[in-house]
Amino acid sequence: MGVPTLPIRKTSTLLNATFAAPDLTTFCRLDELGLEVIGQHLAPDRAVLECRVVEPDPWCRKCGAEGVARDTVIRRLAHEPFGHRPTTLRVRVRRYRCGHCKRTWRQDTTRAAAPRSKISRGGLTWALTGIVVDHLTVSRAAAGLGVSWHTANAAIIAEGKRRLIDDPARFDGVAVVGVDEHVWRHTRFGDRYVTVIIDLTPARDKTGPARLLDMVEGRSKQAFKQWLAARPKPWRDGIETVAMDGFSGFKTAAAEELPDAVPVMDPFHVVRLAGDAVDRCRQRVQQDTRGHRGRSGDPLYGARRTLHTGASFLTEKQHARLEALFAVEEHVEVEATWGIYQRIVASYREPDKKKAKQMMRDVIDAVATGVPTTLTEIRRLGRTLKQRAADVLAFFDRPGTSNGPTEAINGRLEHLRGSALGFRNLTNYIARALLESGGFRPLLHPRLR
Alpha carbon distance 86, 80 (integer Å):
7
The arithmetic mean of pLDDT across residues 3-10, rounded, is 50
Q: How far is CA 2 from CA 5, 243, 316, in A?
A: 9, 58, 51
pLDDT digits (tens, 9 = 90+) for 53-64: 999 888 888 888
How do residues 428-446 score in pLDDT, each as one tens digit? Answer: 999 999 999 998 988 887 6
pLDDT of 1 > 50? The answer is no
Q: Of 220, 171, 218, 225, give the one whose Cα is nearest residue 198.
A: 171
Contacts 24+ apart (CB under 8 A), 349-355: 349/310, 349/312, 353/396, 353/397, 353/399, 354/396
Instruction: Give me the sheet containing 193-199, strands edge to edge.
Output: 211-217, 193-199, 176-183, 241-244, 262-265
Q: How many CA atoms lie within 13 A of 37 on its CB side?
A: 21
Q: What is the pLDDT of residue 448?
A: 52
Q: Look at residue 181 and give its three-state secondary structure.
A: strand
Residue 304: pLDDT over 70 = yes
CA–CA gap between residue 264 and residue 349 (Å, rounded): 17
Over range 301-310, report the average pLDDT.
92
Q: What is the dihedral of CA 168, 171, 172, 175, to 10 degrees?
A: -170
Report CA-CA distances (Å) from 141 to 80, 136, 224, 315, 383.
9, 7, 34, 48, 52
pTM: 0.82
Structure letter (DSSP) for residue 21:
-
CA distances from 38 to 91, 96, 154, 177 (A): 10, 21, 31, 54
Backbone angles phi, psi at 328, to 5 degrees: -80, 130
Run of H or E including 86: strand 85-97
The tens digit of pLDDT for each residue in 183-201 reads: 888 877 777 899 999 999 9
User: pLDDT tens digits for 374-397?
Assistant: 999 999 999 999 999 999 999 998
What is the arithmetic mean of pLDDT over 284-307? 90
**Res. 242: pLDDT tops 50:** yes
Helix (H, G, I), strand (E, B) or coil at 159: helix
Confidence band for 33, pLDDT divided at 50, 70 and 90: very high
What's the rounded Cα separation, in Å, for the pair 237 and 248? 22
pLDDT of residue 7: 52
Please tell me the distance from the alpha carbon of residue 439 to that of residue 170, in angstroms, as a whole number.
9
Summarize the confidence of residues 105-122 as an average pLDDT. Answer: 93
Residue type, 123: G
